[in-house]
């Protein structure tokens, strides 16, 4: 059986199983009185919201694997950009004397870069770090985002990445 048909049958089975497990949707017998059976849909949806969200997210993730390579690269680039932005903010906030609105000198910029790189390695998915080129490349990307004075030279980012990795 082709994988796409196999996956479709699996998800259809999951949907049918969840529908059978909904307690609120049961065959109701009115006892022959002819009364109306009311189903409280809002309450039913709230009760099973986690299952519904799970199914929707599963379907989206399943369909995302078939995206063209260009779109996948754009999504990875957006994730990398978000990771670098958060890492630089963390690095600036973690180092005393650093501020986002002033130019950094080299003795302040190196600890900021080290803190930002440590954050990126700790919080970023390892597959994304590898896709970005590894810890040294991430350190270079972080350094490029820092507002460093022109007099401050570029530190040895390879040894910086090595020191950060040694502490992890």
In tens digits, the chain (168 residues) has pLDDT values of 566 777 777 888 877 776 666 655 555 555 666 666 677 777 777 888 888 888 888 877 777 777 788 888 888 899 899 999 999 888 888 877 676 666 766 666 778 888 899 999 888 888 888 999 999 999 989 888 888 777 767 778 888 888 888 877
pTM above 0.75, yes or no: no
For the four alpha carbons of 117, 122, 128 and 134, in that order, the dihedral sign comes to positive
CA of 131: how far to CAs of 12, 125, 128, 156, in Å? 34, 10, 5, 22
Strand partners, 148: 104
Q: To 5 degrees, how large is the angle CA 45–CA 50–CA 55? A: 95
Side-chain half-sphere of 9: how many Cα atoms within 13 Å? 6
How many residues does this entry show for the chain? 168
């Amino acid at each position: 059986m082709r994988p796409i048909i196999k996956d479709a049958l699996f998800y259809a089975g999951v949907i049918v199983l969840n529908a059978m497990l909904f307690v609120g949707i049961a065959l109701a017998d009115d006892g022959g009185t002819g009364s109306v059976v009311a189903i409280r849909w809002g309450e039913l949806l709230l009760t099973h919201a986690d299952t519904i969200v799970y199914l929707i997210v599963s379907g989206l993730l399943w369909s995302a694997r078939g995206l063209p390579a260009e779109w996948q690269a754009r999504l990875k680039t957006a994730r990398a950009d978000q990771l670098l932005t958060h890492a630089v903010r963390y690095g600036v906030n973690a180092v005393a004397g650093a501020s986002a609105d002033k130019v950094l000198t080299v003795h302040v910029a190196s600890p900021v870069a080290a803190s930002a790189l440590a954050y990126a390695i700790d919080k970023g998915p390892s597959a994304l770090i590898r896709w970005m080129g590894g810890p040294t490349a991430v350190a270079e990307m972080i350094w490029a985002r820092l507002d460093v004075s022109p007099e401050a030279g570029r530190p040895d980012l390879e040894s910086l990445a090595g020191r950060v990795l040694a502490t992890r």
